[in-house]
Amino acid sequence: MCARCQPADLASVGSDELARFFRTVGGRRCNSLNGRYIMPADEEELKRFDLFHRMIRFVLGNKNYVGPVQDILSPDRAARGDKLRVLDLGTGGGLWAIDMADEFPHVDVTGVDLAPLQPPVVPLNCTFELCDLDSNCLPYPSNSYDLIHARNMHSGIADHPQFLHELTRILRPGGLLILIEFDLRPIADGKFTSHPAKSGIPGWCALAEELQRCLTLRGVDVTVPERMGEMVHKLGWYDQVLQQHADIPVGFYPKDPTLLTVGQLAWMSSDLLVLAIRPLLLSSGLAESQVNGLIEAAQRDLYYPLVHIASRLHVVHAIKSRY
């Protein structure tokens, strides 16, 4: 850990001080700590995080995790005197951290984010901190966490190899790393779209392309989601690395009741996402009229789809070697 970066414990930040963590971009409230992550940090965005959180729970079979979490966080280990710790990076509204603190009351859960969006009343074993994780050194000691979870936050990190290197440093030997990210390439009728004009969802594809272009301009590697497992494996510190993916329906077309619920939640979350991208597009040099045109065309495809839209979710879990 370097002495330069210290996370701020949210409980110690006064309510009048909280305002300095926000700025307005393109009519939405965004974080002020990191200029690369220009997605909103406001009430509307919290609704999107809530839909997303519920959707992922359905996808993971009514659980918040994959891998041997029950073993790693077992009460027996705590009873033997081990202090068990979980870190949730880019925690957003903190729903995952709160759920985990409820499910594992003997474990200390810390959620970290750029913006103070988390509720004031939380389980006693749950705390929130403010910190920009887009840094060469994370402000946490080596070998200190049993489970590290980073979900849907890769667009706030420039140097992903270094980020993964740091996660590995702070993870305990035998600890579990879980990474969950959406692929930014749209899927139409079961295939990644190679010709947007012929995809049946040209507006949806144009917005996805523009999102990728703007993130790339800001130094974000948009190929990280599909390569996370390979990147973790390359670090050489893990015994097992497993990357899986699932194509998540976006819309009301699935016949299976569980997939239909997933599709509904994904559709509602995408409907909010289309508007949430606005500040990023506006601050990447696009004129307001262009941004409005992109958003309207994407909304048309979402509201009147001619094909089945889906998004690929990548899920990695890896266990850090004990040796």
Summarize as ranges the residues that interact with ligand SAM (CB under 6 A).
31, 34, 37, 41, 49, 52-53, 90-92, 112-115, 132-134, 151-153, 156-157
Integer Cα distance of 95 and 259 in angstroms = 22
**Of residues 153 and 298, the one with the C-beta less far from ligand SAM:** 153
Tokens of 179: 């990474």
Tokens of 106: 């003997």
Tell me whether residue 101 is exposed, middle or buried, using C-beta atoms within 10 angstroms of its C-beta: 0 to 12, 13 to 18, 19 or more: buried
Residues 6+ apart with CB under 8 A from 155: 36, 37, 39, 215, 220
**Of residues 114 and 207, the one with the C-beta less far from ligand SAM:** 114
Q: What are the helix (H) ranges across 65-159?
A: 69-72, 75-79, 95-103
CB of 96 to ligand SAM, least distance (A): 6
CB of 59 to ligand SAM, least distance (A): 12
Q: What single-letter amino acid sits at 268?
A: M
CB atoms within 10 A of CB 157: 24
CB of 82 to ligand SAM, least distance (A): 26
**Of residues 74 and 283, the one with the C-beta less far from ligand SAM:** 283
CB atoms within 10 A of CB 87: 25
**Of residues 97 and 307, the one with the C-beta less far from ligand SAM:** 97
**Of residues 115 and 315, the one with the C-beta less far from ligand SAM:** 115
**Of residues 278 and 308, the one with the C-beta less far from ligand SAM:** 278
Integer Cα distance of 33 and 241 in angstroms = 32
DSSP 8-class letter at 115: S
Which residue number is nearest to ligand SAM in terms of Cβ? 156
Say if residues 106 and 78 touch (Cβ distance below 8 Å).
Answer: yes
**Of residues 74 and 162, the one with the C-beta less far from ligand SAM:** 162
CB of 197 to ligand SAM, least distance (A): 29
**Is residue 188 classed as helix, strand or coil in its secondary structure?**
strand
Contacts for 16-21: CB closer than 8 Å, 24+ residues apart:
18/116, 21/114, 21/115, 21/116, 21/130
CA dihedral 102→107→110→116, nearest 10 degrees, is 30
CB of 33 to ligand SAM, least distance (A): 7
CB of 61 to ligand SAM, least distance (A): 17
CB of 227 to ligand SAM, least distance (A): 18
The rounded Cα 221 to chain-centroid distance in angstroms is 15
CB of 184 to ligand SAM, least distance (A): 13
Tokens of 11: 């409980």
Q: Which among 145, 108, 139 is positioned nearest to 123, based on CA atoms? A: 108
**Of residues 96 and 238, the one with the C-beta less far from ligand SAM:** 96
